[in-house]
């Protein structure tokens, strides 16, 4: 579940992601983003949250109790499994980083 709340008297948005309520050990992660800038969030088929904001860049959060870490996505990884529509919605600069990461993966294959 994704919850966004504008913080009172601030231009910040609190982001909270958690597993389905009522499940044992429901995972949870939270952070803040700049509410004056564009942002984008989507869940993939495994309920992993993919997000983007100019101040955080591309990122993801697992929603399973065993895998709820916030991951900054960049040249060193984090892109595996990214939904194509989400990737295409990212700014050109982020897609360029993805292309460089992808090229490094292709050359790393045996």
pLDDT digits (tens, 9 = 90+) for 65-80: 666 677 889 988 899 9
Which is more confident, 110 or 76?
76
Per-residue buried b or exposed e for 6-20, using 16+ beta carbons within 10 Å of the residue's own CB: eeeeeebbebebbbe
**Residues 33 and 21 sit within 8 Å (Cβ to Cβ):** no
21 CB-contact burial (10 Å; exposed 0-12 / middle 13-18 / buried 19+): exposed
pLDDT number for residue 110: 56
Q: For residue 10, name the pLDDT band (cuts at 50, 70, 90).
A: confident
Which is more confident, 92 or 9?
92
- Spatial distance between the Cα atoms of 67 and 36, rounded to a whole number of angstroms: 30
Q: What residue ranges do the domains of the chain occupy? A: 2-108
Q: What percent of the chain has pLDDT over 90?
A: 34
Predicted confidence (pLDDT) per residue in 19-49, tens digit: 655 554 555 677 888 888 889 999 898 888 8
- Residue 109 structure tokens: 């294959």
- Spatial distance between the Cα atoms of 91 and 24, rounded to a whole number of angstroms: 37
């Amino acid at each position: 579940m994704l919850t966004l709340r504008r913080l009172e008297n601030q231009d910040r948005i609190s982001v909270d992601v958690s597993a389905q309520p009522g499940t044992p050990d429901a995972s949870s992660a939270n952070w803040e983003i700049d509410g004056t800038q564009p942002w984008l969030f989507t869940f993939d088929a495994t309920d992993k949250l993919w997000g983007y904001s100019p101040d955080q860049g591309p990122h993801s959060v697992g929603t399973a109790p065993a895998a709820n870490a916030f991951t900054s996505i960049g040249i060193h990884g984090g892109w595996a499994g990214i939904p194509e529509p989400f990737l295409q919605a990212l700014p050109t600069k982020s897609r360029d980083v993805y292309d460089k990461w992808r090229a490094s993966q292709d050359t790393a294959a045996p």
